[in-house]
Amino acid sequence: MNYSIEAENLNLWYGDFQALIDVNVKIPHGQITSLIGPSGCGKSTLLRCFNRVNERYGNVTTKGKIEVLGKNIYDADVSLPELRKAVGMVFQRPNPLPISVYENVLFGLRIHSPMRSMTRTESDQIVEESLTSVFLWQDLKDRLKTRATSLQLEQQQKLCIARLLPLKPKIILMDEPCSALDAKGTRAVEELMEVLAGTYTFIIVTHNMAQARRVSKECIFMFLGELIEHRETQVLFTDPKHEKTSDYVQMRYG
Amino acid sequence: MNILRKKSTANLPFSETVIELFIRLCGFSCIIFVFGIFFFVFREGAGFLFNGLDIGQFLTSPEWYPTSLNNKRYGTFALILGTFSVTALAMCMAVPFGLGAAIFVSEFCSPKLRETFKIVIELLAAIPSVVWGFIGLTLMNQLIIQVFNAPIGLTMLNGSIMLALMSVPIIVSIAEDALKAVPDSYREAAEALGATRWQVVYRVLLPAAKNGLLAAVLLGAARSIGETMAVLMATGHSVNIPSGPLSWIRTLTATIAAELGEVARGDEHYQVLFIIGILLFTITFVVNLIADLVIKGIRQE
Ligand SMILES: Nc1ncnc2c1ncn2[C@@H]1O[C@H](COP(=O)(O)OP(=O)(O)OP(=O)(O)O)[C@@H](O)[C@H]1O
Ligand SMILES: [Mg+2]
């Protein structure tokens, strides 16, 4: 199987407003795919379908089919906690929980495993591994007890990535993960993605076209709820097929 | 430039000056009232408090015989115990119910149902305490007699059920505000990690809102401590060191309410009642202060 996610005829409404129109997409396994398009075109909406976190809002109707790792996530027997364990998400604003750094990293494991099933040494090790993979261990190893919400934004965002790792997700969704970070923080998160791609499938929503070109192998362009074009990133930027795509990549929309 | 120049107060329209003055007065008046009340209560009790009353005995002796002819004793220990035990038992019932209801209203129910609940809870808060006392005296009295096979149902249990019903609305509304104040991004983050709604509640919301929830509990307790009418009617009103939920008790507040009408102004008994007032004032002041500090703690985070 080469695809992590396959969506077919996906339609989504917020109340009466249709935010996704007949989206068909196949996201390849183990690489970074970027999702671009003007504001309000439905990028976040599409991304939030893949772990069904959209359904938090009461007024959402979805039609169509999404297969994640070969399984239709709208089937009745799908368990949301299991789905979200396999499909992690990083948000636009870093949102660590108001508990210690240590507990943030372990939060996912704690909710997915029975009480007290980890020994102290195991959990110490998991925290160290996860923080090391996001290059935070050196900075934070002496501050594991501090409240995660008091860290710098860049550290918070890296921590939000780190806390996904103990759950061993297959797919990581990122919704403008760098928009709250400065250039240095952006660079750091991009490097991190490059290192982790291969182990994980990444989908990243971004407004920064340079970023899309830097990090992603494939790129999806959306416009007003429709998927316009999905190709290799370099080709999409240098030789777009659709007029709307070329207008957008040449910055004719805001 | 003329238009940019700051208007002097003299140029303000007269009506505006008057309104401002009035609003200022309203603001300051509450400070004046609180100090005024404290001053008045203190002045009435001060004479005996500093000259004649044995404070140690006042706080620790269970003997409350203010009208004895040859040996007047003013020990409030039984009354203090009465107040605290009935409040504690009330809180044992009100806290789980109140916090549970707050969690339900803020996290689990649909927006429409939430509005209905809020109206009902406000209604509950608006029931006068004498009505609660009435219910305690009649309905709950009968119920306790039947259920526990007790000789009389006017007991600590009866009073604390009434107090619990009175403080639940306070606990619910303050606790609900505290839960509402937890940013939605925390819920979203936890749910995206696969937490169920109940896990979100006890792993994220309760720790994040704990100060606000504690404040809710404390304000509910302060309400119970200060309550008079319902406990006067429902607890049997007899000076007694409580030995269990079915013993009758008397509280500090009920003592003042029941006896103040029958004492001669200025005599010792009269002054002691005011000293009990000072004691109550101090207790509720401390509880409120703690609640305030706790709430401040939330804002600073
Ligand atoms: N909860 C909601 N209720 C109603 N409408 C919504 C909701 N969320 C999004 N929308 C609408 O759906 C459309 C798509 O929104 P979405 O957030 O997916 O856009 P986006 O491409 O991520 O935009 P941006 O680049 O600004 O983040 C927008 O028109 C938006 O107004
Ligand atoms: Mg978005």
Distance spanning both ends of chain B, measured CA to CA: 45
Q: In this predicted model, which residue has the larger pLDDT, A182 or B172? A: B172
Structure confidence by residue, pLDDT tens digits, B216-245: 999 999 999 999 999 999 998 889 899 989
Q: Which fold has domain A3-249?
A: Rossmann fold (3.40.50)
SS3 A4: strand
- Residue B213's nearest CA partner among B51, B90, B102 is B102
The verdict on residue B190 lying in a domain is yes
- Residue A12's nearest CA partner among A38, A46, A39, A58 is A46
Does A70 contact ligand 1 (Cβ within 6 A)?
A: no
The verdict on residue B175 lying in a domain is yes
The verdict on residue B71 lying in a domain is no
Domain ranges of chain A: 3-249
Instruction: Take atom 4 of ligand 1 and give the residue whose Cα is closest.
Output: A14
Any idea what the CATH number is for the domain that residue B174 is in?
A: 1.10.3720.10
CB proximity under 8 Å: A 8-67 to B: 51, 53, 56, 58
CB proximity under 8 Å: A 102-141 to B: 107-108, 110-112
Does A206 contact ligand 1 (Cβ within 6 A)?
A: no
> What's the alpha-carbon Rg for chain B, to the nearest Å?
24
Ligand 1 site-directed mutation target among A14, A49, A205, most atoms within 8 Å of CB: A14
| Surrounding residues of ion ligand 2, Cβ less than 5 A | A 44
SS3 A11: strand
Ligand 2 centroid to residue A90 C-alpha, Å: 12
pLDDT by residue for chain A (254 residues), tens only, comes to: 588 999 999 999 999 999 999 999 999 999 999 999 999 999 999 999 999 999 888 889 999 999 999 899 999 899 999 999 999 999 999 999 999 999 999 999 999 987 777 888 999 999 999 999 888 999 998 999 999 999 999 899 999 999 999 999 999 999 999 988 888 888 888 988 988 888 899 999 999 999 999 999 999 999 999 999 999 999 999 988 998 898 888 875 54
**Mean pLDDT of the region B30-58:** 90
The verdict on residue B34 lying in a domain is no
Q: What backbone torsions phi and psi does residue B67 show, to the nearest 5 degrees?
A: -110, 5
Report the domain count for chain B. Answer: 1
pLDDT at B301 over 60: no
- Which pTM was predicted? 0.85
Ligand 1 centroid to residue A46 C-alpha, Å: 10
B218 is in which domain, residue-wise?
Answer: 79-300
Q: Is the CB of residue B268 less than 8 Å away from at least one CB of chain A? A: no
Query: Distance, in angstroms, between B190 CA and closest chain A CA?
Result: 8
User: Which of B110, B188, B208 has its CB closest to that of A53?
Assistant: B188
- Residue A87's nearest CA partner among A69, A103, A104, A102 is A69
